[in-house]
C-alpha cells in the first residue's frame, strides 16, 4: 500500500470514529464522547495538510461550538440541535475521506 493511500485510509477511519463518538454523545456538559471526538477531529498546526482537512476543520469547529455552548448551560433542545449539526458535518467528512480512500 502506498504511503498516501495509508494516510487516506487512516483519515477515513478517524472520520468514522469521530462520527460514531458523536452519535454516542449526549448533550451534557463534560460528555466524554464529545471530548474524544474533538481531540480526534483537531488538526495540529504542524501536520501536513491532507485533502479534506477543510471538512475535518469544519467538523472540529462544530464539535467545539457544541461543547462550548453545552458546557455554558445551553438548554437540552439547543444542545441536541448543536450535536445534530456536528453529526451532519461529520457525515460529510466521512463521505469525503472514505471516498478518497476508495471505501464506502
Which residues, 6 or more positions from 28, have their beta carbon under 8 angstroms from its beta carbon? 70, 79
Report yes or no: 104 and 18 within 8 Å, Cβ to Cβ: no
pLDDT at residue 4 is higher than 50: no
**What per-residue confidence (pLDDT) applies to 102?**
79
Going from N- to C-terminal start, the domains of the chain cover 3-100
**What per-residue confidence (pLDDT) applies to 48?**
63
**Residue listed under C-alpha cell 498516501:** 4
pLDDT at residue 3 is higher than 50: no
**Residue listed under C-alpha cell 438548554:** 75
Residue 9 half-sphere exposure toward CB, CA atoms < 13 A: 7
Measured distance CA(62)–CA(58) in Å, rounded? 6
What pLDDT digit, counting tens, does each position of 84-98 carry? 999 999 999 999 989
Could you tell me how many residues make up the chain? Answer: 104
Among candidate residues 41, 42, 39, the one with its CA nearest the CA of residue 16 = 41
The pTM for the full model equals: 0.85
What pLDDT digit, counting tens, does each position of 16-61 carry? 999 999 999 999 999 999 999 999 999 864 456 666 688 999 999 9
Amino acid at each position: 500500500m502506498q504511503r498516501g493511500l495509508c494516510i487516506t485510509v487512516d483519515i477515513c477511519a478517524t472520520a468514522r470514529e469521530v462520527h460514531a463518538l458523536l452519535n454516542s454523545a449526549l448533550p451534557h456538559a463534560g460528555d466524554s464522547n464529545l471530548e474524544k471526538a474533538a481531540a480526534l477531529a483537531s488538526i495540529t498546526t504542524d501536520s501536513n495538510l491532507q485533502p479534506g482537512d477543510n471538512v475535518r476543520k469544519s467538523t472540529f469547529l462544530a464539535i467545539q461550538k457544541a461543547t462550548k455552548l453545552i458546557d455554558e448551560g445551553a438548554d437540552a433542545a439547543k444542545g441536541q440541535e448543536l450535536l445534530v449539526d456536528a453529526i451532519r458535518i461529520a457525515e460529510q467528512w466521512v463521505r469525503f475521506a472514505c471516498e478518497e480512500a476508495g471505501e464506502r
